[in-house]
Structure 1
Amino acid sequence: MATAIQLELFEEPIVEGPTLEEEVRAIIDEIKDLYLDRSEAGPWAIACSFGKDSTTVLSLVARALQEMDAADRWRQVYVVTSDTRIENPEMADYAHSQSEQVNEWAKQSGIPIRSHIVWRELKRSFWVQHLGKGYPLPGNGRDRTCTHSLKIEPQNKFLQELKPSLLLLGTRTDESSRRARTIEKYREARESRFGYSPYQKDIKFYMPIVDLTTEDIWEFLQSPLPWGSSIEIRRLYREATGECGLLSPRKATKGRHACGARFGCWVCPPVQRDKSTENMALVHEWLLPLTEYRKELKEVWDGKKHPENRSGKMRKGKVLKEGQGCIRVPVRKQMLGRLLETEQEANAIRLEDGLLPLKLISDEELATIRAQWEEDEAERPWLL
């Protein structure tokens, strides 16, 4: 008995951390303090994909503004969404509809928030670059140029014109070890939620939810959003993971899936498997042709498996090794034909389901690609 008492004396007391409600309250209060600080003049910007994390940040900012008197809402907040034009179609439609809902709600509520969707120039289009010019597909490393050309560059162009005093991001250390290292690299100081953009040194960023867990995010998103229901975003993630621990209690053992799915481009070459689109295809059959096209494109563009599809030269004529260089024009034509067939196959299924037709490539892109082929056939015989 004495031993037990002695052990109790040396046991550390169990200290309960703050509840999610307390953490959310603290974040909203911090957002209000930053917003009301007139020493930092200029608008704010929120980088928003309308995924779970950026939706949480936007919701927190909206709630903070709702709590203020109208006279104190002096700063305009811009929501910036990059549309790659090859996004998972379900997520792309959702993001556009959310952007419209946010604008309508803000206008009716007198909240100074405005949502904008930006996209790349036509010449930087994924299809123009690869089916038009025959460039190799980006890989999962330093040559992952698609992220910059399709997402970061259009957003940065908007931000350069806007010159926000603060850029709010939905990044969290809980997302991945790689993301955690990146966050630490660009933080102003350790344990700080502020830093400077690696792309634009004069833009300061703020990560209000950096310390929240995935379970925290989903618990927060059980409540309605200021501009509408949160049911749709929960449905999208549930379909993307196949099953999901949405209702896992905070700090309890994680469910088999904590809805940490990542949405992205349906034709994404760097990833080995596009699990989110493949899982969603189990619910939306019309996505199946898209998953098959992605696999086929990766196969045909693979210089090791099909060196005969590569020209062995760059567009300017520089000689490279066998299996390297730009894709030959006939192969590009073949894969554009397959893309249009994929669009037809998907739309045939969508028609049966009573859905509107899907457009995987725009008429402007088609015209630009075909003009590029004509130029290559006339001026670059080594690409034939």
Structure 2
Amino acid sequence: MDSEIAANRSSIFDYKSVKEIYHEIQEVYLRDHRPWVIGYSGGKDSTTALQLIWYAILDLPEEQRQKKIYVISSDTLVETPVIIDYINDSLEKINEVAIQSKMPFEAVKLTPIISESFWVNLIGRGYPAPSKTFRWCTDRLKIKTADRFIIDRVTQYGEVVVVLGVRKSESATRAQVMNLHKIKDSVLSRHSRFPQAFVYTPIEDFSVDDVWSYLLQTPSPWGNNNRDLLALYKSAQAGECPLVVDDTTPSCGNSRFGCWVCTVVTKDKAMEALIDNGEEWLEPLLDFRNYLAETQIPDKKHLFREYKRMNGKVQYNRDGSGNIIRGPYKLEFCKELLTSLLQAQIQIRKNGPNPEFNLILPEELHEIRRMWQMNRGDWQDSLPEIYKEAIGEDLDWVKDDLGMFTSNEDNLMDQICANHDVPLKLVKKLLEAERQVQGMSRRSSIYSKIDDILSEEWRSEEEFTKKNISNLPAEV
């Protein structure tokens, strides 16, 4: 009944008071022993949901505030610096005030595992910049990080309630998805993937005006100034990048706060607006993002990307055009990207508010170095030199104790392969496969690895194109 009324009224407050909303939250909270996991992105919607819940629980007697409430925020490690600073400050305040007020809240910042981070995938593995047709980032950077936390809590408690600050009025698709998973005669919904998790959306019937009306009339209980949040939105003219917990929840797009490096959108209007409104120190990030976006221009892809896919095969578009579907970024271009990123980091540290700000973490650099050496034939071990040239100092690099090949072997092998007209990358890959099973008592896997390597396309792009130009198949 409430949702029907909401659909016909401009504001939820026309038919439901804030006290009634608090009462509903209290009823849901006290109904069972399932802990709550609140998705908090620092934006207006998630802030409204968290603030409503905080005041509702605060009204309960202390002895009834026993059920744990986790406040999780996903840091993709490529968040806009202005936003991540705001979120970090908010999480710190939430934990401080929760302890002082004897509230059951605990704020936790989630990050992707290093081997799945944005830079490890982009610069390490060579994944092309995300696009509308290949948005590999959302699952790895947001969904999986939230999933791991939810699964851990399910393992610990048996069941959980995930609280999201999402609204039906955001879009018809959002409303349809929310209604699809609704449990009959309940304010809870089924989680789209985890049967032991339920979803509660306390602001689902709020309009955007309701959100701002509540935030500007009700002070933040953990000490933030909600007018600062409004100013942040005005300066970026942005929407909110939600905590993404499944594939049905859209990630960022158009002029939304989110990852500063996002190339899914044509232009980063939020970043441009921040710069226009006085945050000029962010310009190196916008320049890098635009540089990355250029690699998606069809006529330029051959400059940046391998003509083979990651499995070593060549694949054509299904449209019959004869165009190759290009693979990962070339290693040399990945080196250029890393150099540009480190140079941007120097500028951000120099001109921004934090002289120690990292665009890329040391742990990511170590992982990229390992990948280049083991998977991409970088026997020159070029990453430490790239870092030293850009930053002017060394990291505490791991000394090779695994018998990695070096630049001496690289130079020698280059000469030998050239003399015998054998692809250098093929020999490197075969030797690396052998090195990885060296010393093992069971070596049966080496034969299938060698088979896979030899079945890859080892001709140069020019040789391959010349051979196949007269008889292009629809797909290889």
Deviation at 1:271, TM superposition (A): 1.1
For 1:93 and 1:304, locate their aligned partners in 2 and report how far apart those are by CA, in whole Å.
38
- Residues 24-78 of structure 1 deviation map (CA, whole Å, 9 limit, x = unaligned): 22221100011111xx222111111121111111111110111111111121111
CA 1:16 to 1:49, structure 2 compared with 1: closer, same or farther past 3 Å? closer
The residue number in structure 2 matching 1:372 is: 371
Q: Which of 152, 159, 167 does residue 143 from structure 2 map onto?
A: 152
For 1:347 and 1:188, locate their aligned partners in 2 and report how far apart those are by CA, in whole Å.
50
Indicate if the aligned counterparts of 1:62 and 1:226 stay in contact, CA closer than 8 A: yes
The residue number in structure 2 matching 1:268 is: 262
For 1:337 and 1:303, locate their aligned partners in 2 and report how far apart those are by CA, in whole Å.
24
Q: Which of 197, 215, 221 does residue 203 from structure 1 map onto?
A: 197
The residue number in structure 2 matching 1:194 is: 188
Q: Which of 339, 342, 365 does residue 340 from structure 1 map onto?
A: 342
Q: Which of 175, 178, 181 does residue 176 from structure 2 map onto?
A: 181
Q: Which of 5, 8, 22 does residue 28 from structure 1 map onto?
A: 22
For 1:267 and 1:50, locate their aligned partners in 2 and report how far apart those are by CA, in whole Å.
19
The residue number in structure 2 matching 1:6 is: none
SS at match of 1:377: coil
TM-score (norm. length: structure 2): 0.68
Q: Give the structure with higher Rg (CA).
A: 2
User: What value does the CA root-mean-square deviation take over the aligned residues?
Assistant: 2.6
The correspondence of residues 16-165 of structure 1 with structure 2, limited to 5 A, is 19=13, 22-37=16-31, 40-141=32-133, 143-163=134-154, 164-165=159-160
Which 5+ residue runs of structure 1 have no aligned equivalent? 1-13, 244-259
Q: Which of 223, 231, 239 does residue 227 from structure 2 map onto?
A: 231
* Residue type at the aligned position of 1:175: E
For 1:301 and 1:333, locate their aligned partners in 2 and report how far apart those are by CA, in whole Å.
18
- Residues 249-270 of structure 1 deviation map (CA, whole Å, 9 limit, x = unaligned): xxxxxxxxxxx96311000121
The residue number in structure 2 matching 1:287 is: 282
262-271 or 19-28: bigger deviation? 19-28
* Residue type at the aligned position of 1:371: R
* Residue type at the aligned position of 1:196: R
Deviation at 1:242, TM superposition (A): 8.2
Which 5+ residue runs of structure 2 have no aligned equivalent? 1-7, 240-253, 317-323, 379-427, 431-457, 462-476
Indicate if the aligned counterparts of 2:219 and 2:226 stay in contact, CA closer than 8 A: yes
SS at match of 2:51: helix
Indicate if the aligned counterparts of 2:238 and 2:255 stay in contact, CA closer than 8 A: no
* Residue type at the aligned position of 2:330: R
* Residue type at the aligned position of 2:47: T
Indicate if the aligned counterparts of 2:43 and 2:229 stay in contact, CA closer than 8 A: yes
SS at match of 1:273: coil
Indicate if the aligned counterparts of 2:255 and 2:268 stay in contact, CA closer than 8 A: no
For 2:343 and 2:365, locate their aligned partners in 1 and report how far apart those are by CA, in whole Å.
14
The residue number in structure 2 matching 1:218 is: 212
Indicate if the aligned counterparts of 1:304 and 1:323 stay in contact, CA closer than 8 A: no
- The alignment of Structure 1 onto Structure 2 pairs a total of residues equal to 348
For 1:118 and 1:305, locate their aligned partners in 2 and report how far apart those are by CA, in whole Å.
36
Indicate if the aligned counterparts of 1:266 and 1:277 stay in contact, CA closer than 8 A: yes
Q: Which of 341, 348, 351 does residue 349 from structure 1 map onto?
A: 351
SS at match of 1:335: helix
Q: Is residue 241 of structure 1 aligned with residue 249 of structure 2?
A: no
